[in-house]
Amino acid sequence: MNVRLMTKAPRSRRSADDLQAMVAFARVVELRSFTAAGRSLETTTSAVSKRIAHLEERLGVRLLERTTRALSPTEAGLSFYDRCARILQDVAEAELAVTEIGSAPRGTLRVSASAVLGEGYLAPLSGQFLDLYQDLRLEVTIEDRLVSLVGEGYDVGVRAMRVGNVPDSSLVARRLGTVNVVVCASPTYLARRGTPRTPEDLRGHDILHFSPMPLMEQWSFETPEGRYAAPVTSRLSFNSLTALRGAAIAGAGLTRTSLLLVGEAVRAGLLTLVLNDYASADLGLYAVYPAGKQPLPKVKAYVDFLAAELPRRLSVCDGGKGNGHARSTGVVHPPVPAPLMNAPLVG
């Protein structure tokens, strides 16, 4: 009897292996790290590396450039990633069609937010939300850093962002309201260094900077003569918004930030608003989630809940600068960058 040895894995097994390799490759591209990809996929770094090595061997092309300092996709890798992302999105939507559409919200909902938004606004609302959906578990991660929403497996991100940022077709953003941007300092700093009356007066002042954001050499204002870019220089920066607020209260300098961060300190007299007659670009407050033909019921439930509850809470943060917080708009496709900043509240 002749026996024919099978030199290749069965098609069904190969298809499953190929899909796992595509998932691993896409996650490495998004996170720029084998270690971070392994952690995200709950597997080892070596397992991720082997999957991608086998994938490169089968395709006969190098997908990633590896150096001691950097990891980046090749031209072929970028092209392959684009197709992988579409395929994996289709797979996710196929599973969604079978398991989730039409069902009640359930499972674990992972939310990303900055300290200001998470501690001040989402935390007080969380119990109220869970009372509405008994089959849901809510995990809110609070940190002030750059976050890749899709790459790190979050369902929803709550962001204060400038409208008109570089679009990212993998995300959808629903606007929840408006956040006023202000310039402020402590009364002691202003008494010592003088109160700026016009944007031109900012020259020579000490500026506090939120380090996860790009260091700005100019702050833009609307003046009667048109837009004016005021030169600014920062010698003190923090990677924490609450630390930055504390430094401002202590008299370390001027900062441009949101009333979400400094509203209470302003009302308490710890900080004073300046340059109110010169408009800064306000921020939109958004709930951001991965794009798809239809969001998961748990995502839709949470975003709808925030759209109903957050504007009322934001309206008390006006701080005397004007209203507009409570106005909410619909879904935007999409004025947001990736990776996303949890809280780009400082210019």
Looking at the chain, list the stretches that DSSP marks H as alpha helix, in order from N- to C-terminal side: 11-31, 34-41, 45-59, 75-99, 115-117, 123-132, 187-193, 241-249, 259-267, 297-314
SS3 150: coil
In this structure, is residue 2 part of a structural domain? no
- What pLDDT digit, counting tens, does each position of 251-292 carry? 999 999 888 889 899 999 999 999 988 877 778 888 998 887
In three state form, how does the secondary structure of 93-137 look?
HHHHHHHCCCCCCCEEEEEEECHHHHHHHHHHHHHHHHHHCCCEE
Give the DSSP letter string of 184-236: EE-HHHHHHH----SGGGGTT--EEEETTSPPPSEEEEEETTEEEEEE--EEE
**Residue 47: domain span:** 11-99
Which residue among 69, 99, 129 closes a domain?
Answer: 99
In this structure, is residue 69 part of a structural domain? yes
- What pLDDT digit, counting tens, does each position of 178-230 carry? 888 899 999 999 999 999 999 999 999 999 998 877 777 888 888 888 888 88
Count: domains in the chain: 3
The pLDDT value recorded for residue 317 is: 53
The pLDDT value recorded for residue 246 is: 96
Give the residue from 130, 182, 121, 172 showing the smallest Cα distance to 149: 172
Which of 102-106, 136-140, 258-262, 291-295 bottoms out in mean pLDDT, i.e. has the lowest? 291-295
Q: Are residues 113 and 80 in the same domain?
A: no
State which amino acid sits at residue 114: S
Give the residue from 152, 143, 117, 118 showing the smallest Cα distance to 283: 117
Mean pLDDT of the residues in the chain? 80
In this structure, is residue 4 part of a structural domain? no
- What pLDDT digit, counting tens, does each position of 17-57 carry? 788 898 999 999 888 889 888 888 888 999 999 999 999 99
- Do 76 and 83 contact (CB within 8 A), yes or no? no
Q: List, in sequence order, every residue forming a beta bridge with 340; answer none if it has no partner.
A: 147
The pLDDT value recorded for residue 112 is: 92
The pLDDT value recorded for residue 64 is: 92
Q: Are residues 156 and 297 in the same domain?
A: yes
Name, in order, each residue with C-beta under 8 angstroms of 38's C-beta and a sequence gap of 6 or more. Answer: 44, 45, 47, 48
In this structure, is residue 324 part of a structural domain? yes
pLDDT confidence of 168, banded at 50, 70, 90? Answer: low
Q: Are residues 202 and 264 in the same domain?
A: yes
Q: What is the 8-class DSSP label of residue 146?
A: E
- Look at 156 and 144; give whichever has higher pLDDT: 156
CA distance 196 to 216: 19
- Do 285 and 163 contact (CB within 8 A), yes or no? no
Q: Are residues 205 and 336 in the same domain?
A: no
On the question of pLDDT at 343 being above 50, the answer is no
In this structure, is residue 239 part of a structural domain? yes
Establish how many alpha carbons lie within 13 A of residue 211's alpha carbon, considering only the half-sphere containing its beta carbon: 9
70-84, 140-154, 189-203 — most confident range: 189-203
CATH number where 218 lies = 3.40.190.10
Q: List, in sequence order, every residue forming a beta bridge with 161; answer none if it has no partner.
A: 284
In this structure, is residue 232 part of a structural domain? yes
Q: Are residues 246 and 321 in the same domain?
A: no
pLDDT confidence of 1, banded at 50, 70, 90? Answer: very low
Q: Is the peptide bond before 339 cis (omega within 30 degrees of 0)?
A: yes
**C-alpha Rg value of the chain to the nearest Å:** 24
Starting at the edge strand that comes first in sequence, how are the strands of the sheet with 255-258 ordered?
Answer: 255-258, 181-185, 272-274
